[in-house]
Structure 1
Amino acid sequence: MTVFRTRSGAVRGRRTARDPGVVVLRGIPYAAPPFGADRFRAPRPAAAWDGIRDCAAFGPVAPQSAQLPGAPGWSPGDEDVLSLNIWTPGGVGDALPVLVWIHGGAYVFGSSAQPDFDGTALAGHGLVVVTLNYRLGFEGFGHVPPVGGESCPDNRGLLDQIAALEWVRDHIPAFGGAVGNVTVAGQSSGATSVACLMAMDRARGLFRRAIAHSAVNSCASPESAARTTREVAAAAGVPATYDGLVSASPGDLVDASDAVADGYRRDPGSGSRHYDPAIYGPVADGDTLPLDPLTAFAARPAADVDLLVCHTTEEYWLLDAVGSSAKITTEEQLAVFAEDFRLPASLLDGYRTLMPGAPVLDVYLAVYGDMLFGEYSSRLAESHAGAGGRAFLSRFARQRGGRGEPVRAWHCADIPFAFGNLDEESVHFLVGGPPASVDHDLSRRMMRAWADFAETGDPGWPPVSGSTGAVRIWDTAGGDSGGAWERFRTGWRGAGLPLLAP
């Protein structure tokens, strides 16, 4: 066992069985429990402690209804949910690059305890890896009306992430990390969180580089956030006021949020929310988050932050496979989908031309996945580069054949490769079973790119220049399977990309 001394108190970690050169510490509080008098408030610093805190177990996860493979669920009564974990190959006196990971999960589920986020392999590449929990769902992203002239901030989940980064700034040297060389990284809603942090004044100076995998095109307006609050309050049976909402337990608001989302899912006439009703997201409130990230990158560039972007080439097939997306199987349904998102017929025609003979469902999945993830992520990189920042773009195109349908290059499949956790049984659904040698080789290359980017700002290929530049294709096979995706972008350039509000 190894003891590290921080400003808050001493903590004890353990060498990992997988790599004895790496020490892991789990469940370190970076902020006070956000409940009781602190519920719906900005995070406050965690209390210091006496003696040595044994950091063997992950901290409690944020309130949610999900139960993910290999990860703990939320238990009512768990309140100390703002904790982080550290994997380090170093100690005091070292100055290793730091990678801080923000998990995804549509802003309503997930945690740092998921096995695919184990930082051992990445730490073995010379990084100090930090993963964290933050408030989700209504607790983290629900709009709470003012009370007694005092406002509860929107984007509490983002403020939690900033608090974690501030903790890293203040404490990471004790674990061998370099304060001036921090990279913040995330996937899906975690990636959009990263983009939001780049746009937030409160996060300035807390990180030098950013990695965003499959950023999701979803940012709420104050009006849409207020509407969601009214709907969730009604489902919970309480007034849509501070007093009404605080009277509902965290579990009540989780159940009410699920009920609201399920109502949209069951109603084909409910507009754009019907297709995948993720009802929460960052709120562009003009205060904590001035603008949605894509607009902010052009209007308020963070040119001093290097950005590495990746997306998968078949993002939305995962959401169809797990049943979270509407089934669109007829031309009539596809036309309604296009109308709900105000997509021109020419865009659908372009996809049909590029996907000859494809069923309607596949055309829908391709269009929706690109609108939500692929095209949006690509534009984040290009917008950042166009504003004078350094941005690198990559695509994950690895597929795997076998019995039945091939395992696609779908949402989340890239993360076990980037973390080096392919042998973890809980990720085999994502990657198509136990890995082959070519998969391990791809994983080593992706980890090396992350480690090099975190250390030097250079992942190993040229940056984007304006709207052009090299794109790294991550695949186990040769050919241009990922590069071919570029043809689908023509239609979006002509049609424009709608910015979506949850």
Structure 2
Amino acid sequence: MAGADVFTTRSGRVRGRRSPRDPEIVTVLGLPYAAPPFGALRFRAPRPAAPWDGTRECTAFGPVAPQSAELPGAPAWSPGDEDVLTLNIWTPADGPGDLPVLVWLHGGAYLFGSSAQPDFDGTALAARGLVVVTLNSRLGFEGFGHVPGGSFPDNRGLLDQIAALEWVRDNIAAFGGSPDRVTVAGQSSGATSAACLVVADRARGLIRRAVLHSAVNACASVSQAARTTAEVASAAGVPATADALPLAPPHTLVAASDRVMDRYRQDPGSGKRHYDPALYGPVADGVLLTADPLEALAAGAGGEVELLVCHTTEEYGLMDAVGGGATIATEAGLSAFAAAFGLPAPLVDGYRARLPGASVADVHLALHSDLLFAEYTTRLAEAHARAGGRAHLARFDRRRGGRGKRVRAWHCADIPFAFGNLHEESVHFLIGGPPGDQDEKLSRRMTRAWASFAAHGDPGWDPLTPDTGAGAAVRVWRTAGETGGVPRGGDPGRGDGFRDLWRAAGLPLLPP
């Protein structure tokens, strides 16, 4: 360290500021880890950031990646913003050095989101003795669109994340962090991104541990990614070629992607994408990724990386609440949903039987939650354990009721608890308003578990064993006084939910 709030990196000196939430924590915001990925570098692998003279002021978040979303408390993307490959650091001002490092990858269906979201403020975790890093990487077509011809790599968003991890390896000691104790963490698409990095040879040696919350079942083949490119290019009015696509402005491809997704939402006969219209994600390109992370973990890839895996018990409730998914209220609609995903009748019937009196809509939400997130996430942990790796498993089941308003244990609700950011107004929709005392206690338990795992590989409960499923070794996160706090369909001590139904169905949960 060069001074209390000034740090020396390989590219030059940077000045941060004290966190407004805790003067003992220094924040360094908007620090470039790679060059702007536009112009001659568009659709290319990330390149190093240019060095600078003097001291760079790093007191504001950098621009977000091209996207159409406008999220509460976070900046929106503006055409012309190019320096989007930046990261942010929270570190104890008087830390002893050699601290464990947690690198956060945000979610957002690979389409939206940024490190500037208030729920990702790293102050509380840094106060527990971590150096926290959050980052922006390319999203949408810029990060994951397949460009035919072989001149441009697939998985550019993942390559950005690897570049950020390489920056951490080379520079984090200047901020009091240990490059040998790096935990990569993420939620939703960020969790799947982290899982991809765990199994990628290109990232080997950069990651010691990984935290995966609500990983999403989505990894495309090259041919599937090429079909998506054809659809988006058609909607943009440009040829789907390596010559034409780089000439299409980013905002044109963002708008075209939105139009393609909207068509799927409006077309009940469009199969899986009617219910889950996300277009982009990791591509099993045979270069960075040879297989879906679940397959790769089962084969022993990334065996040296320790995992902490978690999902919520009512994931898809969030999509339903915000109108982001198809509404299913009839038996015919439920049958069409099951047919689109190839779900066998005994599986659907099993959900009906274990949810007596539930509406068709609630049966669909339970099925879709487990199909898209919970079952895939749990299998990641089990596959890693069976292949000889170390994996801890948890489920988040905190709910809230009262005055006719119900907040489920839904997608994203766990992250403000784990980051210790319950008082941020932007997260109150997720958690059902301002936190109560029991919420505060739950948050402290979760931040402590993350910090202990990043430091020692032990979140506070036993890991899975090669011959056990998601049984006694699972931690169920909930508050003592919540409404309806028993995990759906399972024993409250085990939190198994509907696992046995999925095992009997024998579904691979991988794209066809």
- Relative to the length of structure 2, the TM-score reads 0.96
Output the CA distance in 1 between the equivalents of 2:145 and 2:498: 35
Output the CA distance in 1 between the equivalents of 2:328 and 2:303: 41
Output the CA distance in 2 between the equivalents of 1:245 and 1:351: 45
Per-residue CA deviation, residues 87-119 of structure 1 (Å, 9 max, x unaligned), is 000569710000000000000000000000000
What's the counterpart of residue 387 of structure 2? 387
Alignment of 1:414-429 (within 5 A): 414-429=414-429
Q: 1:258 to 1:480 in 2, by over 3 A?
A: closer
Kindly indicate whether the alpha-carbon contact (under 8 Å) linking 1:199 and 1:290 is maintained by their aligned counterparts in 2: no
Per-residue CA deviation, residues 350-398 of structure 1 (Å, 9 max, x unaligned), is 0001100111111111101101101110000000000100000000000
What's the counterpart of residue 342 of structure 1? 342
What's the counterpart of residue 264 of structure 1? 264
What's the counterpart of residue 12 of structure 1? 15
Q: 1:92 to 1:369 in 2, by over 3 A?
A: closer
Q: Which amino acid aligns with 1:20?
A: P
Per-residue CA deviation, residues 433-465 of structure 1 (Å, 9 max, x unaligned), is 000011000000000000000000000000011
* Local SS of the residue matching 1:25: strand
- 2:481 matched to 1:471? no
Output the CA distance in 2 between the equivalents of 1:70 and 1:497: 40
Residue from 121, 129, 135 that aligns with 2:132? 129
Output the CA distance in 2 between the equivalents of 1:263 and 1:498: 28
Output the CA distance in 2 between the equivalents of 1:500 and 1:470: 26
Q: Which amino acid aligns with 1:294?
A: L
Output the CA distance in 1 between the equivalents of 2:474 and 2:415: 18
Output the CA distance in 1 between the equivalents of 2:170 and 2:507: 40
What's the counterpart of residue 66 of structure 1? 69
Once superposed, what is the RMSD of the aligned Cα atoms?
A: 1.4
Kindly indicate whether the alpha-carbon contact (under 8 Å) linking 1:334 and 1:364 is maintained by their aligned counterparts in 2: yes
Output the CA distance in 2 between the equivalents of 1:422 and 1:93: 28
Q: CA deviation at 1:480?
A: 6.9
Kindly indicate whether the alpha-carbon contact (under 8 Å) linking 2:219 and 2:292 is maintained by their aligned counterparts in 1: yes
Farther off after superposition, 426-435 or 403-412: 403-412
Kindly indicate whether the alpha-carbon contact (under 8 Å) linking 1:310 and 1:395 is maintained by their aligned counterparts in 2: yes
Q: Which amino acid aligns with 1:481?
A: V
Residue from 494, 501, 511 that aligns with 1:491? 501
Q: Which amino acid aligns with 2:160?
A: D
* Local SS of the residue matching 1:21: strand
What's the counterpart of residue 51 of structure 1? 54
* Local SS of the residue matching 2:263: helix
Output the CA distance in 2 between the equivalents of 1:242 and 1:171: 35
Output the CA distance in 2 between the equivalents of 1:158 and 1:327: 32
Kindly indicate whether the alpha-carbon contact (under 8 Å) linking 1:91 and 1:174 is maintained by their aligned counterparts in 2: no
What's the counterpart of residue 298 of structure 1? 298
Per-residue CA deviation, residues 136-164 of structure 1 (Å, 9 max, x unaligned), is 00000000012xxx521100000000000
- Relative to the length of structure 1, the TM-score reads 0.97
Kindly indicate whether the alpha-carbon contact (under 8 Å) linking 2:350 and 2:501 is maintained by their aligned counterparts in 1: yes
Kindly indicate whether the alpha-carbon contact (under 8 Å) linking 2:192 and 2:216 is maintained by their aligned counterparts in 1: yes
What's the counterpart of residue 281 of structure 1? 281
What's the counterpart of residue 102 of structure 2? 99
- 2:146 matched to 1:143? yes
Kindly indicate whether the alpha-carbon contact (under 8 Å) linking 1:90 and 1:175 is maintained by their aligned counterparts in 2: no
Output the CA distance in 2 between the equivalents of 1:475 and 1:487: 15
- 2:158 matched to 1:155? no
What's the counterpart of residue 486 of structure 2? 481
* Local SS of the residue matching 1:42: coil
Output the CA distance in 2 between the equivalents of 1:286 and 1:399: 42
* Local SS of the residue matching 1:302: coil
Q: Which amino acid aligns with 1:40?
A: F
Kindly indicate whether the alpha-carbon contact (under 8 Å) linking 1:224 and 1:501 is maintained by their aligned counterparts in 2: no
Output the CA distance in 1 between the equivalents of 2:68 and 2:302: 36
Output the CA distance in 2 between the equivalents of 1:90 and 1:292: 40
Kindly indicate whether the alpha-carbon contact (under 8 Å) linking 2:397 and 2:485 is maintained by their aligned counterparts in 1: no
What's the counterpart of residue 462 of structure 1? 462
- 2:41 matched to 1:38? yes
Output the CA distance in 2 between the equivalents of 1:104 and 1:334: 28
Alignment of 1:442-457 (within 5 A): 442-457=442-457
Kindly indicate whether the alpha-carbon contact (under 8 Å) linking 1:301 and 1:389 is maintained by their aligned counterparts in 2: no
Per-residue CA deviation, residues 58-115 of structure 1 (Å, 9 max, x unaligned), is 0000000000000000000000000000000056971000000000000000000000
Kindly indicate whether the alpha-carbon contact (under 8 Å) linking 1:7 and 1:171 is maintained by their aligned counterparts in 2: yes
Output the CA distance in 1 between the equivalents of 2:263 and 2:92: 48
- 2:198 matched to 1:198? yes
Output the CA distance in 2 between the equivalents of 1:294 and 1:167: 27
Output the CA distance in 2 between the equivalents of 1:312 and 1:198: 22
Q: 1:498 to 1:272 in 2, by over 3 A?
A: farther
Q: CA deviation at 1:497?
A: 3.1
Output the CA distance in 1 between the equivalents of 2:413 and 2:475: 16
Output the CA distance in 2 between the equivalents of 1:96 and 1:330: 54
Q: Which amino acid aligns with 2:401?
A: G
How many residue pairs align between the two structures?
499
* Local SS of the residue matching 1:446: helix
Output the CA distance in 1 between the equivalents of 2:374 and 2:301: 21
Q: CA deviation at 1:276?
A: 2.1
* Local SS of the residue matching 2:284: coil
Output the CA distance in 1 between the equivalents of 2:402 and 2:429: 13
What's the counterpart of residue 370 of structure 2? 370
Q: 1:24 to 1:234 in 2, by over 3 A?
A: same
What's the counterpart of residue 412 of structure 2? 412
Output the CA distance in 1 between the equivalents of 2:5 and 2:394: 38
Output the CA distance in 2 between the equivalents of 1:334 and 1:497: 18
Q: CA deviation at 1:13?
A: 0.7
* Local SS of the residue matching 1:490: helix
Q: CA deviation at 1:496?
A: 2.3
Q: CA deviation at 1:165?
A: 0.2
Q: 1:450 to 1:92 in 2, by over 3 A?
A: closer
Per-residue CA deviation, residues 316-346 of structure 1 (Å, 9 max, x unaligned), is 0000001010011111111111111111000
Q: CA deviation at 1:477?
A: 2.1
Output the CA distance in 2 between the equivalents of 1:139 and 1:6: 28
- 2:158 matched to 1:164? no
Output the CA distance in 1 between the equivalents of 2:95 and 2:359: 58
Residue from 24, 28, 32 that aligns with 2:31? 28
Output the CA distance in 2 between the equivalents of 1:498 and 1:108: 26
